[in-house]
Amino acid sequence: MTILNSTRELQITDAAHHLHPFTNTRELNARGVRVITTGKGVYLHDSEGNKILDGMSGLWCVNVGHGRKDIVDAVAKQLEELTFYNTFFNTTHPPVVALSKLLSEVTPKQFNYFHFTGSGSESNDTIFRLARYYWQLMDKPEKTIFISRRGGYHGSTVASASLGGFGSMHEQGGLPIPGIFHAPPPSWWANGGDLTPDEFGLKVANQTLELIDSIGAHKIAAMIGEPIMGAGGVIIPPKTYWPAVAKGLKERDILFISDEVICGFGRTGEWFGCELMGTEPDFMTMAKGITSGYVPMGCVGVSDRIANVLLEKGGEFAHGYTYSGHPAACAAAIANLEIIRSEKLVDRVRDDIGPYLQSKWKALADHPMVGEAVMEGLIGAFQFTPDKNARSNFADEAKIGLTARDFSFENGLVMRAVGDRMVIAPPLTITHAEVDDLMEKTIKVIDLTYAHVRKNGLI
């Protein structure tokens, strides 16, 4: 095998052979891709020797930080013992049994059954079929429709991208598939007008229930939502929103799916985001933090209400993936969950490091160009605005968010831009000193962006 070394060599070969996800590869190739080579704790290194604070935990997944030897060793040991065996044909293996039991301990009480997949997308496609199958078994086959939300993200496969509310994704490949309706998102900053956040939360919940009633609840299988919208820009809903939606769904006999791919495994200061929001889902979508991204894995939590029907009335569920419950992924998940438990990371996020970062982060809203700065647990965002009183936006062409993202990377911090909203979700293991480093860099990014905006007459 040829070993490529220099940054330039890697860039040229990457440009010649690699089509990147969620990327305009032509533009990227013209610019030259960044090469990340190592990671330890909350820091990454690139091929030019730069040290970068990973403020996004990779893609919201490396909850316990990079390079944890316990997980690496557990995976290596498992691969030596049993590299692969499936869980299809009357077989199981020790790591998938142990992980299933462990998940029943850390998830909300109604979850005692788990179906494994390779990703969040696969998990949502699985739930799409499972929820419809459940209603078939309940002699209500007409309940097939799904409600989701504009700005929600649920994955890139056909059903999951259709459930998601991104027009840019729907435009490619003729999505959404039929039978999916998108309700408005609870984005107070963008759409709240003169209402208080609590009033606005109730308004959007009512709009969602009105949409449901206009379709006919008897035709609706389930509603899916992220407790906090992640890829849509870290939209933290007003406190009134989820309880009102969940109550309305229960009254109408509609299943509720909490997509915990980002919010799960301690991110919000609870084990799962639904616990923070006060909802009791029938399904949970899990991925990312389940293994802290060390090995790909997704999982569907199936509540007792659903599992009992499947077990009592159902036959074979004709669905599964080669890598459902892959032994190495299970070993990674078990070692990862043991770290989260033994280091009490969930409590740490709720009581210590979360509040420490939040108090500094929320103070960013004092800056003249920052409209709001929000954070729950260790997931947050701030919004650039030319006029914070009017809660107005910069023109799309000004690309303020992307400019700030570049400043951030150049100054050693990974932040993500969603439009002009800057998003952060660092590893749950981040120390106080590392939070100080993160904040110093963030303030520098805001100052540089403010100077850029003024120099170009955009404000």
Residues that bind ligand PMP (CB under 6 A): 59, 119-121, 153-155, 226, 230-231, 259, 261-262, 285, 287, 298
Distance from C-alpha of 133 to C-alpha of 317, rounded to nearest angstrom: 8
Residue with Cβ nearer ligand PMP (120 or 186): 120
Cβ atoms of 369 and 382 within 8 Å: the answer is no
Quote the least distance from Cβ 300 to ligand PMP, whole Å: 12
Cβ atoms of 184 and 203 within 8 Å: the answer is no
Quote the least distance from Cβ 74 to ligand PMP, whole Å: 21
Among 418, 57, 80, 119, CA closest to 259 = 119
Cβ atoms of 226 and 242 within 8 Å: the answer is no
Residue with Cβ nearer ligand PMP (22 or 89): 22
Residue with tokens 């462990």: 102
Residue with Cβ nearer ligand PMP (121 or 442): 121
Distance from C-alpha of 111 to C-alpha of 305, rounded to nearest angstrom: 9
Quote the least distance from Cβ 230 to ligand PMP, whole Å: 5
Residue with Cβ nearer ligand PMP (258 or 449): 258
Residue with Cβ nearer ligand PMP (202 or 328): 328
Residue with Cβ nearer ligand PMP (230 or 401): 230
Quote the least distance from Cβ 415 to ligand PMP, whole Å: 16
Quote the least distance from Cβ 231 to ligand PMP, whole Å: 5
Cβ atoms of 52 and 45 within 8 Å: the answer is yes
Distance from C-alpha of 221 to C-alpha of 216, rounded to nearest angstrom: 11
3-state SS string over 384-443? ECCCCCCCCCCCHHHCHHHHHHHHHHHCCECCEEECCEEEECCCCCCCHHHHHHHHHHHH
Name the residue with the smallest CB distance to ligand PMP.
120
Quote the least distance from Cβ 106 to ligand PMP, whole Å: 19
Cβ atoms of 213 and 250 within 8 Å: the answer is no
End-to-end CA distance of the chain: 53
Quote the least distance from Cβ 69 to ligand PMP, whole Å: 25
Residue with Cβ nearer ligand PMP (59 or 106): 59
